[in-house]
Structure 1
């Protein structure tokens, strides 16, 4: 979507219909929230929606680096909602405890320690 006033007017009055304006449509509604907020707040931190910020942080979670999770936990706390922050805490706790994700050991041909084997028997021990 272009940022010019003419492009906005074209979107509202030519690309969209009045029915779309007042009908619940998740795809259309998302496009409106995403595009308009990004363009209204262009070049400011508000340009990225909470969902976009959260999405940008997701690559941190699979890391087996303690240093990455030390940084990630602060970013998740600052930029995401409570649920995402909670899941980053769970990931970080596993890395802090084992230095790796024990549930990956089999696929990576890594031997599991006795502590990891006990951990993997616990509910919700992997993602």
Structure 2
């Protein structure tokens, strides 16, 4: 059975910040091999005891919000644990457990909100990163603002449309063709 220390040791120590956001097929395979069964168990309600303390919740969030995206990259299933991850993050933030985790790992309490297609969650993610990650939040803040801008503009993430079998509107298609998310980040980085 997977333990929180298995998840944390792998993600925080073995992979580390330099690899957290790489789209790497070999890493996706490794995560699938090591944690695919645990993700399926989490979908069925396992690991509730992890949600009773800060580091356990951190492991749960990494499993359900990050590893789901590695294991099911480009598929609708990548987003099936977003709801439970978001609920766990909100509860943990309410308890102040995010403060018990040092930066940069603290960001994993806020990413489920940043991954939400709800503008209130997006606003909260921006506020939390701005106020609770003063040492290492600049890049995270830029991406939180970019995610929020996409939700403000479209009410959803157009880059998920294909995986979720959603029809892409003409406005979304034009945005995607003009650089999509990357262009949004650049525009926020270098305002006109």
Which band: TM-score by shorter chain? 0.5 to 0.7
Alpha carbons 1:50, 1:79 under 8 Å: kept: no
- Within 5 Å, give how 1:67-86 maps onto structure 2: 67-80=120-133, 81-86=137-142
The equivalent of 2:109 in structure 1 is 56
Q: What is the CA–CA distance in structure 1 between the aligned matches of 2:122 and 2:150, rounded to whole Å?
A: 10
Of the three residues 181, 184, 188, the one matched with 1:125 is: 181
Moved more, 93-102 or 43-52: 43-52
- Is 2:161 the partner of 1:108? no
Q: What is the CA–CA distance in structure 1 between the aligned matches of 2:113 and 2:130, rounded to whole Å?
A: 13
Unaligned ranges ≥5, structure 1: 1-26, 31-42
* Inter-CA distance 69–46: structure 2 relative to 1 (3 Å threshold): closer
Q: Which has the larger radius of gyration?
A: 1
- Is 2:119 the partner of 1:90? no
Q: How many residues align?
A: 87
Unaligned ranges ≥5, structure 2: 1-12, 17-95, 186-192
Runs of 4+ in 1 over 3 A off after TM superposition: 43-47
More helix by share: 2
Alpha carbons 2:98, 2:106 under 8 Å: kept: no
Cα root mean square deviation, aligned: 2.7
